[in-house]
């Protein structure tokens, strides 16, 4: 009712202003009429802006998570366009955190269903929803169906954190468990005539197996099953606690799923079979006003806008040297070591920055690039700026390397981390090209000049150099873990070997300090910087995102050169004739 009255008043004001303008133009002299008209336009613009920025009483936040959630929005314009359907993790967490203390916000309604979430992502969102509910506000989850043609176990796990779960009367609940599907390329390579010439440190470093095997090896199977078991146990325990069920009952429901609508209600996994309009009416009541999470943030502003300054640096995507690149298939940006290193240096040079929160969500990449980032984290600590790592869904291999020297590491129980190991090698494609009618001849000088070419497997001397490189990087990785985590080298070897762990297990074995999300990491940063727990902080992202994808102009570089270089970067055109071996890591 209030929203209708407000809309009527705004419309009436606009009509009245229009009448005044017409009268002014007809009665007054033209110069005066022009001034009156200009003044009215200014007043209307101000009023419109105030109305648009207003968060009315009885606001119900709405959020659509069918498109999934991204750790951050890609800075590139093309990336932003492709990732437009996804919510941004920090936006959701900040909005729910701010709304928890906002008396104008009364409820939250979220659309779930078929979206794919990582377990750690679901856990971060669950924490935000539970914090919202702890402030006495209602949270409603709605799904047309939990899974249509696929499992939606993790999506339902998120829904379980809400006060009420509503399912469309034709929907199902596909809490069928977790599955790991791994593509093995060995037989395809055999058909094509491609030889994967690879090696790794050690047996749990599974990236190599995807190229060299046609099924799970024993170590690969063991580690993968352990991850699934840990994550499913967390999911079952969470659902059981949230829905007031026994864990054994939830396990039986998982084995019984997919559950038809009536069975989903009968089992206690769903509160009611409702259509979208019915859920929204229940959430809004008579006087509620809907506002998307994004609109709420624009109007109310983010939390952590004033107080002691804390830097937020993102380390997301595969790690490589140079600047970030956008992957259109993964709809995400990579972790360019130059950009992250620059962010650390800027934060160190800013005297107002008291601590750094480093958000890491990366499966790894180049060891050399990882070392560039790790070194800057060390320098920040040496400059008196505590560094707290907040791990997202995955922080393994290089993602762990760049985290290891932080003052404190925080991860979700479902985060995938560890993978302390290294893999490298090349694909020998000579026979494949020959089958296609392409012949390659070569001339070379230097005993190991052909080491990186794809024309032949490693020679004995080349293989010796590869093995030396793998041993060197693996030993350096373990040394950094031992130093950063305060562990004995023998103990590091026991938990390394390329094995991945969930955050829950990583916490148990000493690779992680604390379980939680961004807010937990921010609390740790406050503590380490000597900021009172309830004192306000200003969370500022470093480096500040550029609005245009162009690089800064350098001295003696003409604008045309800058444009051409940028176009080459965006197109990712490799140098003609360049052949590179994948960088060591994985």
- Where would I find the H helices in 301-420? 337-349, 367-382, 398-401
Judgement on whether residues 434 and 320 belong to the same structural domain of the protein: yes
Residue 140 CA: distances (Å) to CA of 15, 104, 160, 241, 259: 39, 17, 10, 17, 20
How many residues are given for the chain? 586
Q: Is residue 81 part of a domain?
A: yes
In a domain? residue 404: yes
Name the pTM for this structure: 0.85
| CATH number of the structural domain spanning residue 409 | 3.90.226.10
Q: Judge if 430 and 536 occupy the same domain.
A: yes
Inside any domain, residue 41:
yes
Q: How many domains does the chain have?
A: 3
Q: Is residue 190 one of the residues assigned to a domain?
A: no
Name the pairing type of β-strands 164-167 and 59-64: unpaired
Do 45 and 165 lie in one domain? The reply is no
End-to-end CA distance of the chain: give it in Å, rounded. 58
**Phi, then psi, of 99 in degrees rounded to 5:** -70, -25
**Euclidean distance between CA atoms 451 and 437, whole angstroms:** 24
Distance (Å, rounded) from C-alpha 108 to C-alpha 141? Answer: 8
CA distance 547 to 283: 38
Q: Is residue 360 part of a domain?
A: yes
DSSP annotation of 145: -
pLDDT one digit per residue (tens) for the chain, 586 residues = 444 544 555 555 556 555 565 555 555 555 555 555 555 554 444 444 444 468 999 999 999 999 889 998 776 666 666 666 689 999 999 999 999 999 999 999 999 988 888 999 999 999 999 999 999 999 999 999 999 989 999 999 999 999 999 999 999 999 999 999 999 999 999 999 999 999 999 999 999 999 999 999 999 999 999 999 999 999 999 999 999 999 999 999 999 999 999 999 999 999 999 999 999 999 999 889 999 999 999 999 999 999 999 999 999 999 999 999 887 766 678 999 999 999 999 999 999 999 999 999 999 999 999 999 999 999 999 999 999 999 999 999 999 999 999 999 999 999 999 999 999 999 999 999 999 999 999 899 999 999 999 999 999 999 999 999 999 999 999 999 999 999 999 999 999 999 999 999 999 999 999 999 999 999 999 999 999 998 999 999 999 765 554 454 444 323 333 333 333 333 333 333 333 344 555 5
- Looking at the fold, whether 295 and 318 belong to one and the same domain comes out as no
33, 66: one domain: no
Q: Is residue 112 part of a domain?
A: yes
Task: Give the range of the structural domain holding residue 335, as residue numbers without chain letter.
Answer: 308-545
Structural tokens at position 313: 């640096």
The region, left, alpha or beta by phi > 0 then psi within -120 to 50, assigned to residue 130 is: alpha
Both 445 and 464 in a single domain? yes
Same-domain pairing of 420 and 394: yes
**CB atoms closer than 10 angstroms to residue 500:** 24
Q: Do 393 and 261 share a domain, yes or no? A: no
Whether residue 270 sits in one domain with residue 123: yes
Domain shared by 423 and 445, yes or no:
yes
Whole-angstrom distance, CA of residue 181 vs CA of residue 162: 30
342 and 470, same domain (yes or no) = yes
Distance CA 162, CA 111 (A): 12
- C-alpha distance from residue 476 to each of 457, 482, 483 (Å): 27, 10, 11
Q: Is residue 364 part of a domain?
A: yes
Backbone angles phi, psi at 542, to 5 degrees: -120, 140
Q: Is 19 found in the same domain as 111? A: no
Question: What CA–CA distance (Å, rounded) separates 368 from 366?
Answer: 5
Query: Among the three residues 300, 327, 351, which one is the final residue of a domain in this structure?
Result: 300
- Helix/strand/coil for 150: coil
Give SS3 for 584: coil
Inside any domain, residue 198: no
Alpha-carbon span 308 to 548, nearest angstrom: 30
Whole-angstrom distance, CA of residue 202 vs CA of residue 198:
12
């Amino acid at each position: 009712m209030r929203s209708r009255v407000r809309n009527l008043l705004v419309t009436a004001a606009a009509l009245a202003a229009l009448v005044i303008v017409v009268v002014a133009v007809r009665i007054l002299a033209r110069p005066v009429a022009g001034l009156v008209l200009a003044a009215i336009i200014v007043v209307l613009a101000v009023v419109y802006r105030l109305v648009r920025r207003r968060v009315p009483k009885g606001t119900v936040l709405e959020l659509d998570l069918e498109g999934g959630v991204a750790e951050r929005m890609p800075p590139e314009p093309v990336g932003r366009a492709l990732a437009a359907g996804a919510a941004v993790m920090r936006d959701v967490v900040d909005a729910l955190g701010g709304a928890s203390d906002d008396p104008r916000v009364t409820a939250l309604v979220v659309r779930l269903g078929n979206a794919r979430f990582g377990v750690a992502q679901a856990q971060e969102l669950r924490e935000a929803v539970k914090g919202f509910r702890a402030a006495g506000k209602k949270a409603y989850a709605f799904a047309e169906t939990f899974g249509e043609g696929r499992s939606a176990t993790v999506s339902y796990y998120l829904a379980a954190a809400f006060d009420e779960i509503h399912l469309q009367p034709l929907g199902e609940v596909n809490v069928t468990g977790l599955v790991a599907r791994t593509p093995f390329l060995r037989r395809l390579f055999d058909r094509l005539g491609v030889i994967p010439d690879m090696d790794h440190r050690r047996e749990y470093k599974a990236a190599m197996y995807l190229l060299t095997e046609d099924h799970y090896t024993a170590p690969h199977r063991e580690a993968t099953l352990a991850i699934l078991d840990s994550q499913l146990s967390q999911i079952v325990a969470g659902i059981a606690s949230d829905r007031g069920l026994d864990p054994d009952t939830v396990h039986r429901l998982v084995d019984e799923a997919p559950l038809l609508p009536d069975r989903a209600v009968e089992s206690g996994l769903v509160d009611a079979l409702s259509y979208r309009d019915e859920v929204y009416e229940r959430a809004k009541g008579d006087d509620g006003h809907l506002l998307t999470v994004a609109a709420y943030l624009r109007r109310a502003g983010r939390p952590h806008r004033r107080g002691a300054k804390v830097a937020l640096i993102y380390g997301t995507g595969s790690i490589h040297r140079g600047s970030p690149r956008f992957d259109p298939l993964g709809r995400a940006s990579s972790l360019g070591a130059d950009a992250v290193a620059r962010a650390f240096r800027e934060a160190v040079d800013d005297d107002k920055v008291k601590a750094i929160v480093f958000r890491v969500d990366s499966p790894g990449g180049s060891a050399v690039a990882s070392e560039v980032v790790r070194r800057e984290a060390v320098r920040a600590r040496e400059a008196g700026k505590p560094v707290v790592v907040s791990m997202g869904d995955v922080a393994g291999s290089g993602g762990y390397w760049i985290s290891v020297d932080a003052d404190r590491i925080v991860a979700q129980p479902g985060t995938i981390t560890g993978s302390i190991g290294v893999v490298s090698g090349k694909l020998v494609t000579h026979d494949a090209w020959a089958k296609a009618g392409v012949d390659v001849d070569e001339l070379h000088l230097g005993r190991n000049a052909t080491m990186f070419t794809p024309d032949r497997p490693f020679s004995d001397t080349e293989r010796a150099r590869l093995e030396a490189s793998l041993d060197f990087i693996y030993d350096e990785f373990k040394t950094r873990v031992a130093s950063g985590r305060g562990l004995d080298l023998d103990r590091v070897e026991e938990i390394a070997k390329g094995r991945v762990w969930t955050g829950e297990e990583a916490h148990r074995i000493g690779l992680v300090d604390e379980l939680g999300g961004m807010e937990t990491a921010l609390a740790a940063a406050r503590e380490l910087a000597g900021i009172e727990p309830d004192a306000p902080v200003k969370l500022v992202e470093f480096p500040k995102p550029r609005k245009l994808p162009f690089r800064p102009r350098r001295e003696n570089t003409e604008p045309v050169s800058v444009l051409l270089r940028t176009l080459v970067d965006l197109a990712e055109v490799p140098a003609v004739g360049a052949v590179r071996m994948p960088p060591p890591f994985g």
